[in-house]
Amino acid sequence: MSRCQAPGHGRLGHGRVPGTGTRPLRPWPRAWHQDLSLSDLARCLALGSRGGFVAYAVRVIRWEIPGPYEVAFTTRVGGVSEGPFAALNLGKATRDDPAHVDENRRRACAAVGADLERLTLNYQHHSATVHRAEAGRMGVRGDGLWTDEAGIPMLKLTADCVPVAIARTEGTPALALLHAGWRGLLEGIVEAGAGALRTSSNSLLQGLVGPAIGPCCYEVGPEVAEPFAARFGSDVLRGEKLDLWSAAERALRATGVVRVERVDLCTACNPDLFFSHRRDRGVTGRQGVIGVLAA
Ligand SMILES: [Zn+2]
């Protein structure tokens, strides 16, 4: 079902969310707060990108995957935070009002049918550490969470790094969510996440590479470029720009994930949809990926 039928296809210019926070947020009309599946999004982008840019009031991008999975990649749309954190900032390691972040997290949990009280998230530090999720557990150092238990919502925060979801699609359902920046990709966060879900050498896994800074914007120095070229192939570089999306996809495929989908939306290029650490010079919010196994 295509739901990109908002007035004017939800084009920018109305309800614009400023990237700098210098202008107040004008809330989108409620009807424009949309939840799109990945295939809906692709259809809308194909319709809307002819004008050179695309932004819809997309609140979450849902992963359509068979099984009891509720997985949503959040945008900055649909929250209560203000200024540079407007609106759906999910990160507390910012100067945002913690009460606003709690309300935003409650909304993110509601988007996947989960309770805020059971939400678990890590203290992320660009590692390759993946923990088994425990309901309500907060602040343990690590960059991945996985579960095969129903009703434990897991959240990974990003603002240019790659949010990755991996699901086990045969046997007992299980889900892993990862925060994969350049350090984590080189250190093996994707391999660790897939490894946590793999019960045998031929476990069927599917993955999704979420919104992150794209090869259009992500300029890196040789200390990053060289190990990426060596690990993932020289074509993950475009001049001095790095294609994190493709590196994440290749990491997933190399570890045996049989099907990989990609959102391919750049966080830096789309200030109305996404927070971007690099674009906003560090003063910004966090989107992320939230997921739970439905009971
Ligand atoms: Zn870009």
- Sequence-distant (6+) residues with CB within 8 A of 282 are none
Q: If you measure from the C-alpha of residue 238 to the centroid of ligand 1, how many angstroms do you get, rounded to a whole number?
A: 13
**pLDDT for 56:** 56
Q: If you measure from the C-alpha of residue 269 to the centroid of ligand 1, how many angstroms do you get, rounded to a whole number?
A: 4
Q: If you measure from the C-alpha of residue 270 to the centroid of ligand 1, how many angstroms do you get, rounded to a whole number?
A: 7
Q: Which of 26, 44, 24 is closest to 34 using CA atoms?
A: 44
Q: If you measure from the C-alpha of residue 272 to the centroid of ligand 1, how many angstroms do you get, rounded to a whole number?
A: 13
Total residue length of the chain: 295
Q: If you measure from the C-alpha of residue 19 to the centroid of ligand 1, how many angstroms do you get, rounded to a whole number?
A: 14
Q: If you measure from the C-alpha of residue 69 to the centroid of ligand 1, how many angstroms do you get, rounded to a whole number?
A: 29
**pLDDT for 25:** 38
Range of the domain at 55: 4-293
Q: If you measure from the C-alpha of residue 111 to the centroid of ligand 1, how many angstroms do you get, rounded to a whole number?
A: 27
Q: If you measure from the C-alpha of residue 106 to the centroid of ligand 1, how many angstroms do you get, rounded to a whole number?
A: 29
Q: If you measure from the C-alpha of residue 73 to the centroid of ligand 1, how many angstroms do you get, rounded to a whole number?
A: 18
Single-letter amino acid code for the residue at 191? E
Q: What is the pTM of this model?
A: 0.88
**pLDDT for 217:** 97
Q: If you measure from the C-alpha of residue 198 to the centroid of ligand 1, how many angstroms do you get, rounded to a whole number?
A: 34
Q: If you measure from the C-alpha of residue 36 to the centroid of ligand 1, how many angstroms do you get, rounded to a whole number?
A: 21
Q: If you measure from the C-alpha of residue 212 to the centroid of ligand 1, how many angstroms do you get, rounded to a whole number?
A: 9
Q: If you measure from the C-alpha of residue 266 to the centroid of ligand 1, how many angstroms do you get, rounded to a whole number?
A: 5
Q: If you measure from the C-alpha of residue 120 to the centroid of ligand 1, how many angstroms do you get, rounded to a whole number?
A: 30
Q: If you measure from the C-alpha of residue 274 to the centroid of ligand 1, how many angstroms do you get, rounded to a whole number?
A: 11
Angstrom distance (rounded) from CA 201 to CA 292: 25
- Sequence-distant (6+) residues with CB within 8 A of 234 are none
Angstrom distance (rounded) from CA 95 to CA 159: 15
Single-letter amino acid code for the residue at 95? R
**pLDDT for 295:** 86
What CATH number is given to the structural domain containing 139? 3.60.140.10
pLDDT tens string for the chain (295 positions)?
Answer: 334 433 333 333 333 333 333 333 334 333 345 678 888 777 766 665 443 334 456 889 999 999 999 999 999 999 999 999 999 999 999 999 999 999 999 999 999 999 999 999 999 999 999 999 999 999 999 999 999 999 999 999 999 999 999 999 999 999 999 999 999 999 999 999 999 999 887 789 999 999 999 999 999 999 999 999 999 999 999 999 999 999 999 999 999 999 999 999 999 999 989 999 999 999 999 999 999 999 8
Q: If you measure from the C-alpha of residue 247 to the centroid of ligand 1, how many angstroms do you get, rounded to a whole number?
A: 16
Q: If you measure from the C-alpha of residue 28 to the centroid of ligand 1, how many angstroms do you get, rounded to a whole number?
A: 24
**pLDDT for 47:** 63
The tally of domains found in the chain comes to 1
**pLDDT for 203:** 84
